[in-house]
Amino acid sequence: MAYASKKEEEGGLSSYYNNKTTIIQEARVFNESPISPRKCRALLTRIVYLLYIGESLSSQEATTLFFGTTKLFQHKDSALRQMVYLAIKELATTAEDVIMVTSSIMKDMQPNSEVIYRPNAIRALCRIIDPSMAQGVERFFKAAIVDRTPSISSAALVSSYHLYPHAKDVVKRWVNEAQEAVNAKSSPSFFGGSSGGYLNFGSSGASSSGYQPIPSTSYIAQYHALGLLYLIRKQDRMAVTKMIQQLGGGKSGAGTTLKNPMALCMLIRYAAKIVDEDPNVQRQILDLLDGWLRHKSDMVNLEAARAMCEMKSVPSAQLSKAISVLQLFLSSPKPVLKFAAARTLASLALTHPSSVATCNVDLENLIADPNRSVATYAITTLLKTGNEASVDRLMKQITGFMSEISDEFKVIIVDAIRSLCLKFPTKHVSMLSFLAGVLRDEGGYDFKRAVVEAMFDMIKYIADCKEQALSHLCEFIEDCEFTKLSVRILHLLGMEGPGSPQPTKYIRFIYNRVVLENATVRAAAVSSLAKFGVNAIDVGLRRSIGVLLNRCLDDVDDEVRDRAAMYLKVMKERPLADVYIKEESVFSLAALESKLVAYISDPVAVSQPFDTTSIPKVSRAQLAAESVRQSTLDTIAIPVARADPTPPPPTAADTQSAYLQQLAEVPELTEYGPVLNSSAKPAQLTESETEYQVTCVKHIFKEHIVFQFNVTNTLPDTILEQVSVIMQPQADCGLTEDFIIPVPALTTSTSPGIVYVSFSRDNPEEYATGSFQSTLKFVSKELDPSTGEPEDEGYEDEYQLEDVELAVGGDYIIPSYASFSSEWDRLRTGASSTETFSLTAMESIEAACDSIIEILNMEPLGGTETPTSPSVHTLQLSGLVNGGGGKVLVRCRMTYTKGEGVTLELGVRAEQERACALVVSAVSG
């Protein structure tokens, strides 16, 4: 097969040659007589290439090629037969009726077949057979797993690994054979045999009777066998622990039967995972890791050292051994070892900087390493472990180094400098100069953003550098090509500039953006100018800002014009400025999103204006904390975690949206109207280890309360039918049961199932509270293991659950931020109440604060949740009462006397009397 030249590729010859239509047309070579092995191999190669580059074949096309390929089964050319199996394996997922070739493939799986055919046949058979046929080929796979030829054994083990998810019960029976493959003391090589040619290419199917395997030193089958063993046993932690101890080879590691370094690395990872799950075995695992640190393979040494460095609560003596091994690798002539050691030390320096400091001399030698990736990790590690005296020297070395590395590593360096600056604030001058210098260099968005955010942090935490940093940022936006960064810097100038000693020097830079930039940046500049005008003490400055904003009224963009008009109005009326510019709180974005989703999905609600009074607020500091970007240093510089990747937990908005979608699918609940509040977190009603697991979510409507029970059946051989939850409320709780929506049938695969229990509120104006005794009722039936069908007869059973509490905090009151002093004064004409309580059981004011916050579920304000005095304290709380109850503020004045407990004066102010009474009843009850 001749490869196309560059000129031919440019002319389209290559694209034609590997075109899907062309290949399908040329498939007639499979029908020629006699068959040309060379032509067929070339065409099969093009088919596989086409699939590897992502080309998709229709089911009909794949089927045509698949059965055309199977006509080559009778040919004796070894290389062609291998190529046939490779093509069959790739086409099997798309083609139809592929199961018809099973018998032909199994013929090549026989022990007396060509050695070079059997691995390919095994891999292809794994793709073709139906899971129900796994039992029929069991003896072939068992024989292949323990075969003395590594290629055959590995093919069988890998195929078993892929077959496991579809036929677990069958593959689990092969555990003894997999164990035998792990313990194999010698393995023949893939190379060898009496057939002619390299890997039998070009042979004409010579008999394998004279095949003489040559011992191999790779032992690759051990690696594959270990993976299969772990897959079978991973649900049994004790079995995995025993496997690790058996294969570990004792404290020195010399007694292990594992000869393959990759298998040992895999075993180390399994051991580290066991320690994460069960810290009680840490000492035994550390002894094994200590032995593997002295293994003859660098790969095993590195994996053992990395596992020890990533382990929690490792004794310093053991950690120092791992660091010593990594320190030796730092001076290795192999770049990959230097890189791996530097990367591991960079992550360890985040938690144990003093321990890593012993490697500083070796790390400094790597700064000039020709591999810039190694040099980058060396510098970031030194920045974390260095002392204040070494900062200036490191900064000089980094300055000449930045132009030689990619943006990705520049981001790591900048984030390391940001951390170092916050650690040694007295060195901010040199570091700020460095950041200002790199800000003027060429670079992409991520790099420039990292530098800008580093300056933002310095402005926030180091007051002495604020003026200088703001000046550098002003110069940067004069020639900034990234709109997002310009907008963020203009916002920061609007927040920090008015309070500076000379606010006028920033106005020129801001107004230049109104003249020279795009509409998005112009709108941000208008907002920034308005903040200077509102917060300015100098009347002349206010007048000048007004003139500039008046010029913006003629802007071509409507957003810019609208902002300018609004801010001119705000500057003339101080109450509007307090609301639109000086307001310290903003809407909770998660709550706002869920309310908007509910609003636009309700056809009745959209006919009315959107009500924002029921949406809780958060402080700007809280919002910034929620949206803070994780340092790139903490993500890029740390090696990938060995644990299985897990998706991030759902946000509050995601959870609320999921609840709304679930409720919308229940016809009986569609007439209840919008949901006023849903539980932020499901309440656990059973232990996590029980066979039936139940959680409860409460949904509050205007006239109803719906309890959603998420029921999980963990018994794989049992089906639960007619699943319901019986709730017994307290007397006079103000609720009447409407109906129960049970789950018809529940298995492990359909879990969790949802049971709904609906109650009507006797008086929607009142807030019903109380405790509910709950019982899970169901009919239990065994599943037939052969058919998977439930038995005809079952038995009724019930399971006692924890009581469900309907409380004031969390169910009726939502935390919401407010400016306490101004809101407290505003509500002085509204509903108010003052009560005194003696909390004799409280042993401190701090305990009383925690208890009150937990009961009321309200937002503590101004850091008052943390008492500053052990004897006297005032706790300030803010919240919203759902269902139109409005805003409520609580002031708790407390004194503590030893022996008498805490005396509490509870002051409540609210927009409605019933909200006031609700808070008092929650504390008194």
pLDDT tens per residue across span 837-874? 888 888 888 888 888 888 888 888 888 888 888 888 88
Mean pLDDT of 369-382: 84
| Residues 638-663 as b or e (16 or more Cβ within 10 Å = b) | eeeeeeeeeeeeeebbebbbebbebb
Min mean pLDDT across 229-243, 305-319, 521-535, 773-787 is at 773-787
Nearest CA to 414 out of 373, 440, 379 is that of: 379
CB of 347 closer than 8 Å to CB of 637: yes
pLDDT band at 3 (very low <50, low <70, confident <90, very high): very low
Long-range contacts from 840-844, C-beta under 8 angstroms, 24+ separation: 840/900, 840/901, 841/901, 842/896, 842/901, 842/902, 843/901, 844/870, 844/896, 844/902
CB neighbours (10 Å) of residue 84?
A: 24
Q: Is the pLDDT of residue 449 over 80?
A: yes
pLDDT of residue 111: 67
Q: Is the pLDDT of residue 677 over 50?
A: yes
Domain boundary assignment for the chain: 14-182, 239-296, 659-806, 813-924
Q: Is 18 helix (H, G, I), strand (E, B) or coil?
A: coil
Q: Is the pLDDT of residue 6 over 50?
A: no
Nearest CA to 383 out of 369, 371, 367 is that of: 367
pLDDT band at 624 (very low <50, low <70, confident <90, very high): low
Q: Is 823 helix (H, G, I), strand (E, B) or coil?
A: helix
- Please enumerate in sequence order all residues whose Cβ is within 8 A of that of 823, keeping only pairs 6 or more positions apart, or say none: 878, 887, 889
For 148-202, what is each residue's pLDDT tens digit?
888 888 888 988 888 888 888 888 888 888 888 888 754 444 434 333 333 333 3
Nearest CA to 412 out of 630, 632, 640 is that of: 632
Nearest CA to 120 out of 218, 209, 44, 28 is that of: 44
Nearest CA to 58 out of 23, 30, 20, 97 is that of: 20
For 115-150, what is each residue's pLDDT tens digit?
577 788 888 888 888 777 878 888 888 888 888 888
Q: Is the pLDDT of residue 11 over 60?
A: no
CATH of 659-806, picked from 2.60.40.1480, 2.40.30.10, 3.40.50.300, 3.30.429.10, is 2.60.40.1480
pLDDT band at 340 (very low <50, low <70, confident <90, very high): very high
Q: Is the pLDDT of residue 211 over 80?
A: no
Both tokens assigned to 157: 């083990």
Q: Is the pLDDT of residue 638 over 60?
A: no
- Between 247 and 386, the more confident residue is 247
pLDDT of residue 95: 76
Q: How open is the CA angle 287-291-297, to the nearest 5 degrees?
A: 145
Phi, psi (deg, nearest 5) at residue 796: -75, 140
Q: Is the pLDDT of residue 725 over 50?
A: yes
Long-range contacts from 208-215, C-beta under 8 angstroms, 24+ separation: 208/112, 208/113, 208/114, 208/115, 209/112, 211/115, 213/148, 213/149, 213/188, 213/189, 214/188, 214/189, 215/186, 215/187, 215/188, 215/189
Q: Between the CA of residue 734 and those of 241, 704, 726, what are the distances in Å?
A: 55, 11, 18
Mean pLDDT of 550-556: 88
Min mean pLDDT across 468-482, 625-639, 650-664, 758-772 is at 625-639
CA distance 134 to 132: 6
Domain 813-924 sits in CATH at 3.30.310.10
Q: Between the CA of residue 338 and those of 269, 371, 378, 380, what are the distances in Å?
A: 21, 10, 10, 14
Q: Which residues share a beta bridge with 758? A: 706, 739
For 213-223, what is each residue's pLDDT tens digit?
555 667 888 88
For 867-889, what is each residue's pLDDT tens digit?
888 888 888 888 888 777 788 88
pLDDT of residue 205: 39
How many residues are given for the chain?
925
Q: Is the pLDDT of residue 579 over 80?
A: no
Nearest CA to 719 out of 775, 784, 769, 765 is that of: 784
Q: Is 3 helix (H, G, I), strand (E, B) or coil?
A: coil
CA distance 615 to 608: 16
- Between 787 and 836, the more confident residue is 836
For 684-695, what is each residue's pLDDT tens digit?
888 877 888 888
pLDDT band at 339 (very low <50, low <70, confident <90, very high): very high
For 764-805, what is each residue's pLDDT tens digit?
777 888 888 888 888 888 877 666 677 777 788 888 888 888
Mean pLDDT of 231-244: 86
CA distance 97 to 95: 7
DSSP conformation letters of 420-439: HHHH-GGGHHHHHHHHHHHH
Residue reference for tokens 């000039």 = 368
Please give the share of the chain, as a percent, with pLDDT higher than 70: 86
CB neighbours (10 Å) of residue 687?
A: 8
Segment holding 547, helix H or strand E: helix 539-552
pLDDT band at 583 (very low <50, low <70, confident <90, very high): low
Q: Which residues share a beta bridge with 506? A: none
DSSP E strands in 449-500: the ranges are none
DSSP E strands in 154-200: the ranges are 187-188
Mean pLDDT, the chain, as a whole number? 79
For 27-45, what is each residue's pLDDT tens digit?
788 777 888 888 888 888 8
Evaluate whether 14-182 and 659-806 have a shared fold.
no
Q: Is the pLDDT of residue 603 over 60?
A: yes
Top CATH class, 14-182: mainly alpha
